[in-house]
Amino acid sequence: MIRLRPVDAQRDTPLLERLADPSVAGPFNHFPETDGAPLRVALPGAGRVIVELADGTAIGDLTWFGVPYGPTRPSLAWRIGITILPEHRNQGHGARAQRLLAERLLETTPSHRVEADTSVDNMAEQKALERAGFLREGVIRGSQLRNGEWGDQVMYGFTRAELQSPRP
């Protein structure tokens, strides 16, 4: 079982520092400073939760922020991202956690859409999103700068219609 809980700054600082370490974040969640200053602006509705196992072991984090697709509040989609500690990857935790967050965001806001993007080379995350019920929508060419190179991202979407699909 996976649970999502609020970040406790004092308790979770060591975990968050470990998740930011390049050797833990891995090639898809590490953005070297040479690519420019990290985006630190207050994005609409941005948030972060800790992913933990039923026994309380913290294994990663999930973040989200709003992406406006129109002038009305329901047209704000939620873009999510995840990092799981290496020793807990490939066990289905990421798929379950992303599904839980998508459900929570759609159940507690008027938004109709949750989305996630990942590198075209990140096959593990693509499989996790598909297991979570997200649908592959296409490739966004040259959209992300990492290690001095522009890379393509695959976009996935989850709408209220997918709430009816089985959980992973």
pLDDT: is 32 or 37 the higher one? Answer: 32
pLDDT: is 112 or 31 the higher one? Answer: 112
pLDDT: is 96 or 46 the higher one? Answer: 96
| Distance, CA of 118 to CA of 63 (rounded, Å) | 14
| Distance, CA of 7 to CA of 85 (rounded, Å) | 16
Average pLDDT, the chain: 91
Q: Beta strand 47-53 with 2-6: parallel, antiparallel or unpaired?
A: antiparallel
Do 50 and 4 form a contact (C-beta atoms < 8 A)? Answer: yes
Do 69 and 34 form a contact (C-beta atoms < 8 A)? Answer: no
Residue type, 99: R
| Distance, CA of 147 to CA of 157 (rounded, Å) | 27
Do 80 and 36 form a contact (C-beta atoms < 8 A)? Answer: no
Average the pLDDT over 93-113 and give the result. 96
Domain boundaries, the chain: 2-116
**pLDDT of res. 148:** 84
Selection from 29, 54, 58 nearest residue 116 by Cα:
29
Sorting pLDDT into bands at 50, 70 and 90, what band is 36?
low
Average the pLDDT over 25-33 and give the result. 78
**pLDDT of res. 27:** 83
Tens-place pLDDT, residues 97-106: 999 999 999 9
Tens-place pLDDT, residues 119-164: 999 999 999 999 999 999 999 999 988 888 899 999 999 999 988 8
The DSSP annotation for 113-161 comes to EEEEEEETT-HHHHHHHHHTT-EEEEEEEEEEEETTEEEEEEEEEEEGG
CATH superfamily of 2-116: Gcn5-related N-acetyltransferase (GNAT) (3.40.630.30)
**pLDDT of res. 55:** 97
**pLDDT of res. 28:** 84
Residues 148-163 as b/e (b if ≥16 CB within 10 A, e otherwise) read eeebebbbbbbbeebe
The DSSP annotation for 37-91 comes to S---S--TT-EEEEEEETTS-EEEEEEEEEEESSSSGGGEEEEEEEEE-GGGTTS
**pLDDT of res. 147:** 81
